[in-house]
Structure 1
């Protein structure tokens, strides 16, 4: 649902339609809603402003009569002029033409809808891939910041690869995962997505082909596609990406690299087996195919530690390893890292300096303190326990309400359950129907256009009560659609 920073006042003597008309007119006059911009639909505006649709129609009719907007049937209503344009002889600037031709692709409409709805406090978020505010370490973070307040606080830029204290701590932490890396082979970045952006800009040519799991998190992003690259999906089984197909796909599609999330895969939750990991690394070494390993869920295992990262089996420098604190400590900290050969790290560090001149020095020092204090491992123990409880609640609710209409995996860690619904209907229709009922989902076709009967269920964000209530309501809505 569209959200605005303003609401009409029902107690005002000014009619609601007039308030809405004036609000939209001000947006246009101030240049916030520019020439060519498409307005939200009448239904969307009515829902956002909590008024009848007829009120919206009246307001838009008034704006159209003033020559500010124009409706073109199925093409929607667009801004065609502003109060300044009406007073001048020159044609007003059409920013929309720039927006439409920008190099970076826009998000899919459903992803934009998800991004908006995630800030609605009344929504049950069964698709959100981040920790609930209940799980974020508020008290430990205060303790960290208290320690920092008594030390020298870095306020300037850091060196290109990042704060040396943090990289020293990361080198020690990586050893616990079986990864040997010196500080010169580590680059601090502002989260996993920036790591992928740097790789796309610094290591790949336009037109390059990237092999990924099918389904894959990368399909929900436009980082590589916007750079003129294409993604080719390799099918998965219960042990992860089918390694026997890597050589075939590499030759068939002249692939440039392989991207994988081997630990608690997004969106399926699959944990690649240790044997499969060894085969993937050996195969890629043999055919000269670099690997980008996304390890942001590596530490979120339940019961027993997950298999070592692919990077731990890499002896030829063919694996770039991405890690992050976004899934374990806080997405707001914006601290991640890339581990790889020094030549690659130097190249990516140079590009990072050109784009943002380094990640926040304060965030880097706080991240270093998480490791130095021993609080990182302490916090992980707590998070693993809490996530396992949430997973079990979700599985129990699915067994109770979905046993006859769906199948699903049982994840051994991470955030996600990959739900396959044994009924055929429009996933888009389901998405908007459950959203109207106060539930936010991530449809499977965001990760694979053929996954029309899948949903990515996340148990990391919603409360225990909302997980149960949301899954029950979802099952009821699916039954209604089926009928």
Structure 2
């Protein structure tokens, strides 16, 4: 929340809060019947005592602007300013019945808690400011001339950037590509959204990994798809599971994250990769390869993507700069058959009239410079250090309570809790102690797992973060 009460004002803080809420109610931001924030959370957001929020709500209640409902909290009055006799939109019902589903309540809680400055964030899947390329961006914007037209660009994205991405794919990922078969997207998530909306129909069956990032996305359910699960071990999926699912459900598409998979960090071995492509070609099943992490390989070896092994045009390749450069740049891409790319570009144009030229310009200048390789080297070294530090902390403090799969790339570490604990209660206890992470069930059917992300957390925060989680876990196991 941007607004904060003025501590220097002569007006008491609770009255400032009451006036602020009254203004938002009067301009329609909080319609009649809308719940107001809970007293505890609102107090935390504003940095005041809970009693101050209670006083502000009582002030509004005295004016008839809000109602206090036992067990339900405070809502905007249903008869505010005589509106009971008037017909107003039922916004509450509308937001519940829309076809595009919201994130789960747990994910909304995690996102909200992650923004708290007092919380150590092991949940957010992004890089810390010191690992992003911000310094290079500042140099680009300060020292290089921007001479692009600031208007609508090509539906597939700026041509120069697509040419640079094609060169990047060949040099860093051994994927021969041309600019005409690349679509620039607002990160990989928009790429997945376009694929689901344009290439599939309600009722179609798709296969996703279990666990996987895709499992956490409501977009599959929103599109009316039937998602079937491919179990993932420390070597990735078993390709023959695709065959079994296809025989039972006529799978239309397979979504895979084969390189340092999110969340468990597994790497699909070469034999399995070749088998996946054989199955894809035999049954005509397209593969969507989501590849945010292959360039983070800690041994700096070349990681063969599925697309680099694809000889039949079976793979749609999705990647971005979010996990290796900066998430806020919002530059991702899809590479695949040109007819598919043109179809997806047409849909993207309907949504946003194409990508903004300014981040495209910055991305093009950075990707085409020697600074990119320098940045990548620094990123890998820093991530190795963070990975080792979090692994050491886990072994030091929790070796008797968890099992850890140590990744060789990426930004996530996947842990199995040996004890049987209530994951929602464990998350609640951890947040209470000042650390947030993502419970394993967000990503699939496996119970008793947690995902810690070490990309965003500062190095000096890792040990205290694990210590706080350990305290939360022990508080749960002591109660048994």
Task: Report TM bin, short chain.
Answer: over 0.9
List per-residue Cα deviations over 1:335-357 (Å, max 9, x = no partner).
11101111101100111111111
Q: 2:25 aligns with which of 11, 17, 28?
A: 28
Q: 2:467 aligns with which of 472, 475, 479?
A: 472
Structure 2, gaps ≥5 residues long: none
1:164 matched to 2:159:
yes
1:63 aligned partner: 60
Q: 1:357 aligns with which of 353, 359, 362?
A: 353
1:297 matched to 2:293:
yes
Q: Please give the TM-score of this superposition, normalised by the length of structure 1.
A: 0.93
Q: Quote the offset at 1:20 in angstroms.
A: 3.4
Q: C-alpha separation between the residues in 2 aligned to 1:437 and 1:145? A: 41
1:311 aligned partner: 307
Name the count of aligned residue pairs. 477
2:393 aligned partner: 397
SS of residue matched to 2:307 = helix
2:230 aligned partner: 234
Q: C-alpha separation between the residues in 1 aligned to 2:430 and 2:252? A: 40
1:154 matched to 2:149:
yes
Q: 2:214 aligns with which of 213, 218, 236?
A: 218
Q: Please give the TM-score of this superposition, normalised by the length of structure 2.
A: 0.94
SS of residue matched to 1:134 = helix
Q: Give the superposed CA RMSD.
A: 2.1
List per-residue Cα deviations over 1:152-211 (Å, max 9, x = no partner).
233122111111111112112212322122221111111101101111111110122221
Q: Contact 2:295 / 2:303 at 8 angstroms: preserved in 1?
A: no
Q: C-alpha separation between the residues in 1 aligned to 2:99 and 2:62? A: 36
Structure 1, gaps ≥5 residues long: none
Q: 2:197 aligns with which of 188, 194, 201?
A: 201
Q: Quote the offset at 1:219 in angstroms.
A: 1.9
Q: 2:262 aligns with which of 266, 273, 276?
A: 266
Deviates more, 1:218-227 or 1:191-200: 218-227
Deviates more, 1:317-326 or 1:32-41: 32-41
Q: Contact 2:288 / 2:315 at 8 angstroms: preserved in 1?
A: yes
Q: 2:455 aligns with which of 449, 453, 460?
A: 460
1:406 matched to 2:402:
yes
Q: C-alpha separation between the residues in 1 aligned to 2:215 and 2:70? A: 32
2:127 aligned partner: 131
Q: Contact 1:326 / 1:334 at 8 angstroms: preserved in 2?
A: yes
1:382 matched to 2:378:
yes
